[in-house]
Amino acid sequence: MAKRIDVNALNVYYSKFLAVEDISINIEPKSVTAFIGPSGCGKSTFLRTLNRMHEVIPGGRVEGEVLLDGDDLYGPGVDPVTVRSQIGMVFQRPNPFPTMSIKDNVLAGVKLNGKKISRSDADSLVEKSLRGANLWNEVKDRLDKPGSGLSGGQQQRLCIARTIAVKPDVILMDEPCSALDPISTLAIEDLINELKSDYTVVIVTHNMQQAARVSDKTAFFNIAGTGKPGKLIEYNDTAAIFSNPEQKATEDYVSGRFG
């Protein structure tokens, strides 16, 4: 559980367009790392390269290495499906499967791959995952109801439960709170704090206060202009980024002067 990620000189492309250039970053296990930066700076694109979701988009490809505890995700013969079952992802908008019950949503990662699982194992996995996502008490009486009947914040926690049910090493979150109200956001942030004890968490956020509240380290991304590639400007302890940034651009951004 909880592996480290090391990225070496990664370029990310959409067909011929270089979207993110030359990223090298080391993400520690059992920590929360936040990616911040203005819209279009490539932070979400970069996040998606960390579990090979980027290549789902037609034309999406990368150059460079992403190492999960030393194993290259993009090495020859590596199956993206294996990568994704070890590095889970939570999306911007909660996306429970509409045809499935809450319980089936949690078990989706297990069941959809056709793995056999006994009833008691399934029940305990559902309870464990939902407890892990701080959702168990709210839904334990309606596990057979459709997941789309939950509130937005509950749906997002259901998606997190679904992600941790496949027992990943790393959880990526792409602006998980941007579609949620403040109270649901708070619940998710509390959950992120708890997840850190078992998983490596990487979160992209637009909200600098959120980055300051939940993360141990923060990476600031920026672009020089439209059509230029996004770059990693500064990566440091969150406290340092927000109180004492080394770069002028970082200081401008965190102090709200642009973006």
Partner 1 sequence: MSVMTSNKHSATPTPPSRKRNSLSKGKLPRWAVPATAAGAIIIGAALSTLTGFSVATFAIYSAVLFVIAATVITSVVEGKRQGRNAMWTYLIYGSFLLALIPLASVLYTVLEKGLPGMSSHFLFTSMNGVTGAVDNQTVADGAPVLGGAYHALMGTLLITLWATVISVPVGMLTAIYLVEYGKNGPLSKAITFFVDVMTGIPSIVAGLFAAAFFGLILGPNARMGIVAAVALSVLMIPTVVRSTEEMLKIVPNELREAAYALGVRRWRTILKVVIPTAISGIASGVTLAIARVIGETAPILVTAGIASQINTNVFANWMSTLPTFIYYQILTPTSPTNIDPSVQRAWAAALLLILMVMALNLGARLIASLFAPKKGR
Partner 2 sequence: MTTNALKSKSSTSGQAGDKIFSGTALAAGVLILVTLFAVAIFLLIQALPTFVADPADISGGEGFFAYIWPIVIGTVIAAAIALLIATPIGIGVALFISHFAPRKVAGPLGYVIDLLAAIPSVIYGAWGYMVLAPALVPIFEWLAANLGFIPIFAGPASQTGKTMFTAGIVLAVMVLPIITSLSREIFLQTPKLHEEAALALGATRWEMITMSVIPFARPGIISAVMLGLGRALGETMAVALVLSTGNLIPSLIKSGNQTIAAEIALNFPEAFGLRLAELIAAGLVLFLITLIVNMIARGIIARHKEFSGAN
The residues that touch partner 1, with contacts defined as CB under 8 A, are: 51, 53, 56, 58, 81-86, 88-89, 91, 93, 95-99, 101, 108-109, 111-114, 145-146, 148-149, 159, 162-163, 166
Neighbours of 22 (CB within 10 A): 15
Query: Shortest approach of partner 2 to residue 70 CB, angstroms?
Result: 8
Query: Shortest approach of partner 1 to residue 248 CB, angstroms?
Result: 36
User: Which residues form the interface with partner 2 (CB under 8 A)?
Assistant: 68-69, 71-73, 75, 77-79, 81-83, 86, 113
Q: In this complex, which beta carbon is closest to partner 2, that of residue 6 or of residue 138?
A: 6
What residue has token string 């309870």? 127
Query: Taking a C-beta distance cutoff of 8 angstroms, is the pair 33, 192 a contact?
Result: no
Choose the contact partner of 69 out of partner 1, partner 2, none; CB within 5 to 8 A by kind.
Answer: partner 2
Choose the contact partner of 78 out of partner 1, partner 2, none; CB within 5 to 8 A by kind.
Answer: partner 2
For 3, phi and psi rounded to 5 degrees?
-105, 165
Query: Taking a C-beta distance cutoff of 8 angstroms, is the pair 172, 202 a contact?
Result: yes
Choose the contact partner of 148 out of partner 2, partner 1, none; CB within 5 to 8 A by kind.
Answer: partner 1
Whole-angstrom distance, CA of residue 102 vs CA of residue 179: 20
CB proximity list for 79: less than 8 A, separation 6 or greater: none
